[in-house]
Amino acid sequence: MALPDEAVERFREGLDEAIAAGEVEPTAMCLSTLGVDGGLSSRMVLMKAFTPEGFVFYTNLESRKGTQLAASGAAALVFHWKATERQVRVEGVAEPVSDADADAYFASRPRGSQLGAWASDQSRPMASRVTLVKRVAAVEARYLGRPVPRPPHWSGFLVRPRLVEFWYGRRSRLHDRFVFTLDNGEWRRERQFP
Ligand SMILES: Cc1cc2nc3c(=O)[nH]c(=O)nc-3n(C[C@H](O)[C@H](O)[C@H](O)COP(=O)(O)O)c2cc1C
Ligand SMILES: Cc1ncc(COP(=O)(O)O)c(CN)c1O
């Protein structure tokens, strides 16, 4: 279910204002996933696309987050825009992006990042930093003079929201909260106490 126009506008406006206010990583979001043991796991990722369908990020599919999302699509996101005292919180389900989208985004990354995606077995044990440096050199040699293709284990997820909350901080601590929730196929909007 696409987000209602108002939520799309609030998100776009919030991001634009964070950028204008000089936020250092305005697209950084905390991503929480669910482990097979029922435990939670959180880390930062960068949002690379936002549409009424949801929020997209890219990663190694064999990483901790990648395997957790493959097992359970449950995902939660938090943006914190410190410069403008705002927070956006998202709860929903992650699904893989298309190969075409992943190819297009991968092709736009700097070559060093592309090589890194081949070199790093993200989230698996590494004996020493030398291992990583050697692997980068090896993939560099392999793709010398030609484009670096997207690794099959590197792609993105679209987090389709079921809940989006906009929090607007106020000095008085009487903050404003607007919560959009998907309820039987329809978006409901309510204010909540701060
Ligand atoms: C600001 C910031 C942005 C990050 N963006 C990404 C990202 O977009 N994709 C990614 O795979 N890791 C990103 N990382 C690294 C992750 O936080 C994390 O360490 C890594 O993906 C491994 O997570 P996992 O073991 O839970 O899968 C970022 C880290 C920081 C601090
Ligand atoms: C391992 C990793 N993968 C992907 C990303 C996404 O961002 P970018 O494509 O801009 O590198 C990051 C950003 N820090 C990252 O650290």
Residues assigned a catalytic role: 173
In order of 59, 96, 151, 158, the CA distances from 106 in angstroms are 10, 15, 9, 15
Residues with C-beta less than 6 Å from any ligand 2 atom: 46, 58-59, 109, 113
- Known binding-site residue numbers for FMN: 43-48, 58-59, 64-65, 87, 122-123, 167, 177
Angle at 139 between CA 113 and CA 158, to 5 degrees: 40
* Average pLDDT over every residue of 129-143: 98
Nearest CA to ligand 1 atom 29: 44
The architecture that CATH gives domain 5-101+151-191 is: Roll (2.30)
pLDDT tens digits for 37-61?
A: 999 999 999 999 999 999 999 999 9
Among all bound ligands, the one having the nearest atom to the CA of 31 is 1
Residue 54: other Cβ atoms inside 10 A: 24
What phi-psi label fits residue 163: left (phi over 0), alpha (psi between -120 and 50 degrees) or beta? beta
Residue 179: per-residue pLDDT: 98
45 lines ligand 1 (CB under 6 A): yes
In order of 31, 54, 78, 145, 193, the CA distances from 91 in angstroms are 10, 10, 9, 43, 19
Among all bound ligands, the one having the nearest atom to the CA of 119 is 2
pLDDT tens digits for 99-110?
A: 999 999 999 999
Task: State the Cα–Cα distance between residues 72 and 143, nearest whole angstrom.
Answer: 35
ipTM for the complex shown: 0.98
So where are the chain's domains?
5-101+151-191
